[in-house]
Amino acid sequence: MSPDLHAAAVKNPKMRGGPFMAVDKSHLDDVKALLEYTLNDQKPLIEFAQGVESLDQLLRSDAKGFCLEPLYAQVPDVLKGYVELVYDLNNQPAIRFIEGLLYKSKYYDETQQSVSLSLINSDEQPFVLSTPRLKNDSNVEIHEPFSSSVYDELFRLKHVPIKMKELSSLVEVPDEDLPVFHSLFTADSPADTADQKYRGDGVRIRYFGHACLLVEDKHVAILIDPLISYNYPDSEKRYTFSDLPNEIDYIVITHGHLDHIVLETLLQLRYKTKNIIVPKTSKGFLAEPSLKVLLKNLGFKCNIIELDELEEVELPAGILTAIPFLGEHHDLNISGKSAYRIQLNGRSFLIAADSANLEPRLYDHIHDNFGPVDTLFLGMECDGAPLTWFYGPLLTQQLDRDMAYSRQGSGSDEPRATKLLDSLKCKQAYIYAMGLEQWFGHILSLNYNDESKQIVESNRFIAQCKDRGIHSERLYAAGEFFFD
């Protein structure tokens, strides 16, 4: 361990998002204890990971196109009964995991799940993939599995009050943590407890930051890629949980990256959500776990709808269609990603997330089959991280650096975005999902300036739109748009 190196690295903006812990030196013993605990108590998972690596090496050396049946005897014991060995049509071997069974095995241990509660008074938080959340004097840990209804009752308190005695019986908190736990609640009613459901004519879209959009008419509320900011005094306008309707008809997830499916937010919305729409994934492959199976095992009992490309869900005054999503996934064979075309009250919207227009003819075909799109929402994070940044832990052999950096997880640049715009004959275009908001830094740790490629390319796109007489802007923090 080198705590001084970590302390120096996290202060360098260029190192944001790297493998450095933002933990004070005084917590060195806590970090050592956590490491020791992980190596001992998580031994089954470590052995499982070692088994995956061993099996992958076996397939690379012995699976040469002949029958795979003899190799089952050599599958590591920790994986036996949990995997199927397969080829693709080019005789490339792969492992298929039986996901539903793994969630019922010792490798899925709900006793390791907990939620940390604390007061938020700053947007600054340590990067989520590198810094452990240690127990301290200002937070309370709720040791309940994510599937527990305790969280639904707890988060319902944002709108529905109960007596402190009932609260104490609902959540088991150690005596020494009770003062902090009680400080998280107030006897005062929220300033505005009215249902935020939109009741006007036409369509309203609220931008909640990054990739989160709330699309509503008087009949339906659709929340896309929810990540909701917290409410505390700040000069920057933002929408928070209090700006959501009391019931959410559909939560819609575009893909499984950590900035688009955020458990911290989803758990807080579970009690008020009727349906969740997720893209259909390939079955049992390591790089794309089933979002439907994941959510069901996390206690989401609402209707979970898995949509394949071009499949539809009927809405009271329209239709939602899953649209193919190319790019941003480092050329990996991942099918669990989708853009969405929402037709509502005579208006059409394409929520394209981080789609990269790798093949322009795709959107020509979409236009020919579904017609033009009035309003486009498109991510332009066009200088993404290399393959190894997010998927590196899943690789069982070292990847050449140049190869990894050639396969960036990037969205559209200006030429690709402009061609998409022209193909779909869009009348408005909003750039979003850029990770610009301060409260989002702990998830993506992006560090833009005026010369950053993402800013330069999105500025060029806005200029292209202006030349075409199309309204365009790069969204930030909060926005509200009405479509008659």
pLDDT tens digits, one per residue of 329-382: 999 999 999 999 999 999 999 999 999 999 999 999 999 999 999 999 999 999
Q: Which of 334, 330, 409, 290 has the alpha carbon at shortest distance from 17?
A: 409
Average pLDDT, the chain: 93
For residue 332, the SS3 value is: coil
Q: Where are the alpha helices (DSSP H) in 204-317?
A: 263-269, 291-297
The helix (run of H) or strand (run of E) holding residue 277 is: strand 273-279
- Domains of the chain are 42-102 (no CATH), 110-191 (no CATH), 203-483 (3.60.15.10)
pLDDT-derived band at 193 (thresholds 50, 70, 90) equals low
**Separation CA 229–CA 244 (nearest Å):** 12
pLDDT in tens, 263-321: 999 999 999 999 999 999 998 999 999 999 999 999 999 999 999 999 999 999 999 99
pLDDT confidence band for 165 (50 / 70 / 90): confident
Residues 6 or more apart in contact with residue 46 via CB below 8 angstroms: 39
| 207 strand-pairing partners | 213, 479
In the three-class reduction of DSSP (H, G, I as helix; E, B as strand; rest coil), residue 175 is classed as helix
pLDDT of the residue at 278: 98
> What amino acid is encoded at 208 in this protein?
F
Q: What pTM value is reported for the model? A: 0.95
Helix, strand and coil content of the chain, in percent to the nearest 5, comes to 35, 20, 45
Q: What is the pLDDT of residue 264?
A: 94
Q: Which residues pair with 216 in a beta bridge?
A: 204, 221
Alpha-carbon gap, residue 392 to 398, rounded angstroms: 9
**For residue 444, is pLDDT > 90?**
no
Min mean pLDDT across 133-137, 359-363, 379-383, 402-406 is at 133-137
Output the pLDDT for position 168.
80
Q: Which helix (H) or strand (E) holds 428?
A: strand 428-432
Side chain identity at 163, as an amino acid letter? K
Most confident listed range (230-239, 254-263, 444-453): 254-263
Q: What is the mean pLDDT of residues 236-246?
A: 91
Q: What percent of the chain has pLDDT over 90?
A: 77
- pLDDT, residue 191, reads 63
Residues whose CB is less than 8 angstroms from the CB of residue 304 and which lie 6 or more positions away in sequence, other chains included: 275, 276, 278, 292, 295, 296
DSSP state for residue 399 in the 8-state scheme: P
As a whole-number percent, the residues of the chain with pLDDT over 70 amount to: 98
With 80 as the cut, is the pLDDT of residue 71 above it? yes
* Alpha carbons 430 and 449: distance in angstroms, whole number: 20
Identity of the residue numbered 109:
D
For position 304, what pLDDT does the model report?
98
Residue 58 confidence (pLDDT): 98
**What's the rounded Cα separation, in Å, for the pair 307 and 257?**
17
**């938080």: which residue's tokens?**
125
pLDDT at 7 over 90: no
pLDDT for residue 425 is more than 90: yes
